[in-house]
Amino acid sequence: MAKPSYFYGIHAIDALLEHRPLEALSLFVQQGRESDSHVQAIMATAKDNGVSIQPTQKDKLTQLCGSPHHQGVVMQARPLAFADEGLLDEVMAQDNCLLLVLDQITDAHNFGACLRTAVAMGVDAVVCPKHHAASLTPTVAKVSVGAAEMMPIISVTNLARTLAQIKSAGVFVFGTALEAHAKPIHQADMTGKTALIMGSEGEGMRRLTLESCDELVYIPMLGNAQGNLQSLNVSVATGMALYEINRQRTLAAEQD
179: CATH: 3.40.1280.10
* CA distance readout (Å), 116 to 61, 111, 126, 191: 24, 9, 11, 22
- Residue 227, pLDDT score: 47
140 shares a domain with 30 = no
Q: Classify residue 32 as left (phi > 0), alpha (psi -120 to 50) or beta.
A: left
Q: Is residue 243 part of a domain?
A: yes
Name the strand (E) or helix (H) holding 7: strand 5-8
96 neighbors 123 (Cβ within 8 angstroms) = no
pLDDT for residue 3 is more than 90: no
Helix axes 108-120, 234-255, angle to 10 degrees: 10
Q: Is residue 241 part of a domain?
A: yes
104 shares a domain with 200 = yes
Nearest Cα residue to 195 out of 159, 233, 247:
159
122 shares a domain with 207 = yes
Tell me the CATH number at 32. Answer: 3.30.1330.30
Q: Is residue 82 part of a domain?
A: no
14 shares a domain with 96 = no
103 shares a domain with 136 = yes
Average pLDDT, the chain: 91
Q: Which residues contact 67 (CB under 8 A, 6 or more apart)?
A: 8, 139, 142
pLDDT for residue 46 is more than 90: yes
Compute the average pLDDT of residues 226-248: 82
96 shares a domain with 41 = no
131 shares a domain with 58 = no
Q: Is residue 238 part of a domain?
A: yes
118 shares a domain with 31 = no
pLDDT for residue 113 is more than 80: yes
Q: Which domain holds residue 16?
A: 5-77
Q: Is residue 240 part of a domain?
A: yes
The model's pLDDT over 147-163, given as tens digits with 9 standing for 90+, comes to 999 999 999 999 999 99
29 shares a domain with 119 = no
Of the three residues 46, 77, 108, the one that is the final residue of a domain is 77
Residue 205 burial (10 A CB sphere; 0-12, 13-18, 19+): buried
pLDDT for residue 184 is more than 50: yes
200 shares a domain with 91 = yes
Which value, to the nearest 10 degrees, does the dihedral of the CA atoms of residues 128, 131, 136, 137 take?
A: -150
131 shares a domain with 107 = yes
Number of domains in the chain: 2
Q: Give the Cα separation of 91 and 111 in Å (integer).
A: 21
CA 152, distance to chain mean position in Å, is: 9
Of the three residues 57, 77, 97, the one that is the final residue of a domain is 77
Name the pLDDT band for 224 (thresholds 50, 70, 90).
Answer: low
Name the pLDDT band for 233 (thresholds 50, 70, 90).
Answer: confident
174 shares a domain with 57 = no
Of the three residues 51, 77, 103, the one that is the final residue of a domain is 77
